[in-house]
Structure 1
C-alpha cells in the first residue's frame, strides 16, 4: 500500500493519496483544486489516480473533486447523507453516492464508509484496511475529528444561513463520537485540518494521532453528558470568515475548473473593482492607496476572506511574485476573478496617523476607541470606553462613530487594526488613528 499526506499551509488543510502498488490504482481524499502535487506524487510511484472522494461539502476551501473527475477521469465518490439541501449537484455521470457501510476498493486496499455527522449532516469518515491485515490501519476523519478537537457544528447556521442547525449538529456530533469509541485504540487518525483552521476552536499542530490518544486527551471525549458536551462544543467558536458561505454553495453546486493564468499588470485601477493592497502594513502606512491593506503573508486567506465579493472583480497592488501567489491562494477558495494588479512603484499617497501606546495611555479617556478584535478577545478583556466591531465586519455592519469624529483603532498586536484603518479610510472616515502594537502593548 502507498500512503502520502499533503499539507497546505494557508488553509491548514490536509489531503491524502492512497494507492495499491500491486495494481497501480490510487484514490485522492479531500483534494484541492490544483492537482499538480497529487499527479507528481502518483507518477513518481507509478500510480494512476483512478478515484477521488471527500469527507463532506467543505466550507473553508474549494474542493478539487470535480477537477479530478473531469481532468483525470477519476471516478468520484460522494456522501449520500445530509438531506435534500446538501446533496451534491452537477457531478460527472459516473459519480457514486456513498452511504454508511459502503466499501470503496482501490486494488487490494479498501475504504469503509462511516457516517459521522456533526460538523455537517453529510460528513463521512473512511476506515482504511490493507489486504495484508484483517485489522484496519486508520481513519480519515475529515472535519469530524481533529487532533485535540472536533469539528464545529455551527457553520451551516453562521456561514450558510440555515437556521436552527447548530444544536442539531452538536447533538449529532455527540452521537458520532460515541459511534467510534468502540473502534480499536491503535487506529491512526488522519484529520482534514491542523492548527490554524477555523473549522474548530482548539486544533492541534500535530498532523496525526491515534484514537486511543484522542480518547485520553481530546476534550470532546471527556463528556458523558450530552447537554454538557453540547454547551462546551458550541461555546467560544471563532467567527467564520464571510467567504465560508460561498464555499458551501461552490462545493455543493460546482465551480469553473481550475486554471493557472498569469495575473498581468494594469496601468489604471478600476474604480468598480475591489482593490487589495498586498504591501506590509509599515509600507502601506507610509504611502496609502485607496485599497484595503491585507499584507500577503501566511494569514492572507483568513484576512482577505472577510472582504471578498464573488460577484465583483478584484485587483491587487503589489509586486509580481506576491501577486501571483496571492491570486493562486484565492483560487484555493474558489475565487477566480482577479483582473490585474498595479505595481507598487506606481502608487502615490500620504501616510496615515499612528500613535504610540505610551502616548495613547496619557490621553483623556473621553475619546472614541474602536476595538476591532474577535468576540472572544473582547470578552476576555477590553477598555470600558471602547466600542467593539470585528475588523472583518467593517464593510457590512454599522460603524459606531460618525465619519467626522476622531477614532482611535486597536486590535491585539497592530496587524488587524492596520487592515481596519484601510477599510475605514475607504469608507470616508478621515480622522482615524491606529494605536501601534495594539491592546497587548497598551496593557
Structure 2
C-alpha cells in the first residue's frame, strides 16, 4: 500500500470513528437529559450526569450539586440519582434506610410512582422529540418539493446526452407520457432511452425540447460495505451502460442487475464521472428488501438513485414542518418494528440486524456525503434508540415501565427476587443481542 492509499484509508477510518462518536454522544446526551430534567422537575435529585463510561476525563459541579462529567469510553451515558447504587439506577437500600423522609423523597426509588414513570419515560420521549425537531428543521431549510413538476436546478449529465431543459421549466410530458405532478415525473415509466423528448412550459410558451430520461440512473447514496462501495462508486456518478449495453433509466439498471445477480455473475458498469467515462466491475449481492406486505430477496449493488434535476420547493411553516417531522418519525418507528418482526419470524435474514460497527460505517458514510445527510442520520438513529429503549426488557426503560405498570395495578412493586431474576435475564438478553449484532457486523456479507 502506498502512502496516499494508506492516508486515504486511515482518513476514512478516522472520519467513521469521529462521526460515530459525535452521533452517539448527541443522541445519548439528549436521552439522558430527558431523564435528568424531568426528574429535576419531579423533585428527584441527580447526583451525576455522565456522557460516557469508565475513567472520568472532565468533571464539574452545578449549583444544585450535580456532577457533570465526560468519561473515557463514549459508548453511552447515565444519570445517577440520589439513592442509586450505581449507573444502572439500582437502589441502595441501606443508604436510603438511613435517610430522612425529606431526603428519601429526593431519591428515584422512593419518589411517587408518577414521578418515577415520568422520569424513565422521558429518555425515549426526548429522543423522539429530538427527531421530530431535527426533521422539521431540515424540511424548513431544504424545503419541500412542490406537487407541480417544475425543474429548479440540474446536475451534470454525460455529454453524449442532449439537454435543452432549463431551470424553471414546467414539464408537461416526457417521452409522450403526461406528467401532471412531480410524483409522475420522478417515478413514471419513460422507457429505456437515455434521451427523450419533453413538452414543457417555459415562461408561458409551450416548447418541445430534448433532455435526459427523468429516470436516468444518477447515484444518490452508496450503502457502506455494499458491492458499489467496494467498486468505488460515489454520489453523482451516472451509470450509462451495463455490460456494454446503454441504459437510460434506473428501472432498466435494476432489471439487468437482478438478472445477472440471480446467476451469481459479475457486471461491468460504464460510469460517467467528472466529464469522463470509466468501467467498474462488481458482483451483485442478495439482500432482503420490503416488497408489498412482506419482504423478498433480490440481487442488489447497494445504491439509491436521484434525479438529474432538483424539483422546485416550498418552505413549510413551523407547524407544518413539525407535523411532517412527526410523520417521518412515526414512519421510522413502524418500519423498524416491521423489520424486527420479520427478523424474529425468519421472514428476512438476521444479517439485517446491525451492531455498533455497522452503525459506525453508516455514520462515516453519511458524514462524508455532507452535513445534511449526517444530521438526518442522527435523527433516524435517535428515533431507533428511543424505540429500542421502550422494548419491555428489564434494564431498558421499557422494562422499568412494565414494572411500574405492575406496581400501579397491584399497589406494590414486584417481589425483590422476581425483580432481580428478570433483571438478570434482561441483562443476559441484551448482552447476547449485542454479541449477535457485532458478529453480524464482522461476518455477514
TM-score (norm 1): 0.23
Structure 1 or 2, whichever has the larger Rg, is 2
Whose RCO is larger (CA < 8 A, sep 6+)?
2
Larger helix percent: 2
